[in-house]
Amino acid sequence: MKKITLVIIALFAFGFANGQAKEGQVSKGRWLIEVNTGFGDHVGSTSLSLTSSDGVTAYNIGAEGGYFIKDNLAVKLGLGYGDNGIDGQETPIAYKIGAKYYFKKMIPIELSYNGVGFGPADANPTYLGLQAGYALFLGKNVSIEPGFRYNKALHNEFYDDKFQFNIGFALHF
């Protein structure tokens, strides 16, 4: 855990020295393709994950895409597919619809509606998510975006609010 913390601190420190978008990566008319790794509680996950515990292996595969409708503001859609490793339970399809704004071209703030599956609320959770982080641009088309995400459950009688730490990898075209 100590090594992970040091790596994250180093990324942020390097990012503040060299991480701003300089070549129009977040300009109107550009495209964004993003893959996240999620740490914490997974909800409506469009991230990549693989876990194994007590002989149960769970995975999730997903990605998000977006289009910059104006400078610094992208509209995003995401899909994910996963298996929790428990026999007899359906494999969920996750979805996300939202918007991402790059404040000062380096601080991404995202608001999204995300969930798992389709159907009644007691079977398929939905959340309103808010995410903030830092965009470290590694060149013309690539950024690494660590961030924190809070997911507010829209059906509190069935599901709890969730908190996540994500590391996103984005391609800008």
User: Taking the CB of residue 36, how many other CB atoms lie within 10 A of it?
Assistant: 26
In whole angstroms, give the CA distance from residue 66 to residue 96.
11
Q: Is the pLDDT of residue 84 over 80?
A: no
Q: Which residue has the higher pLDDT, 40 or 146?
A: 146
pLDDT for 47-67, tens place per residue?
787 878 888 888 888 899 999
Phi first, then psi, for residue 8 (nearest 5°) are -65, -45
Q: Is the pLDDT of residue 3 over 70?
A: no
In whole angstroms, give the CA distance from residue 147 to residue 161.
17
Q: Is the pLDDT of residue 156 over 80?
A: no
Phi first, then psi, for residue 9 (nearest 5°) are -60, -40
Given the candidates 2.70.170.10, 2.40.160.20, 3.40.50.20, 3.90.1150.10, the CATH classification of the domain at 2-172 is 2.40.160.20
pLDDT at 155: 81
| Strands 93-103, 73-83: pairing kind | antiparallel
Q: What percent of the chain has pLDDT over 70?
A: 76
Q: Is the pLDDT of residue 118 over 90?
A: no
pLDDT at 17: 47
- Provide mean pLDDT across the span 138-152: 91
pLDDT at 148: 93
Q: Is the pLDDT of residue 117 over 80?
A: no
Q: Which residue has the higher pLDDT, 25 or 92?
A: 25
In whole angstroms, give the CA distance from residue 151 to residue 132.
12
The H-assigned helical ranges of 2-127 are 2-18
